[in-house]
Amino acid sequence: MYRLYFHRDSERGFEGTYSWLLDELKELKEARESNDRKALEDEFADVIAWLASLANITSIDLEKAALSKYDGKCPKCRHSPCQCTF
């Protein structure tokens, strides 16, 4: 994602990319409502691509961030499956 889109993402900046990400989330919801499985899969791919773009702009390693917080146990209760009582 970095190699593919960083030149464009960095020009667009955080606000613009964040706004695209929100649009993609709306499209994801529409795809879900239309019961089109291929479209839904595509929208999930788009959301994660825009999220990766946003992480690149802020120089955050998305995969590292995810693995460091969710390391196979719930970060709150430290159990798997999670046993938090909300």
Name the token pair of 83.
């046993």
- By CB under 8 A, tell whether 36 contacts its own copies: no
Min CB(11)–its own copies separation in Å: 11
- By CB under 8 A, tell whether 10 contacts its own copies: no
Name the token pair of 82.
């999670």
State how far the Cα of 74 lies from the Cα of 58, in Å rounded to an integer: 26
Question: Residues interacting with its own copies, by CB under 8 A?
Answer: 1, 3-8, 14, 18, 21-22, 25, 28-29, 32, 40-42, 44-49, 51, 54-55, 58, 60, 62, 65-66, 68-70, 72-74, 80-82
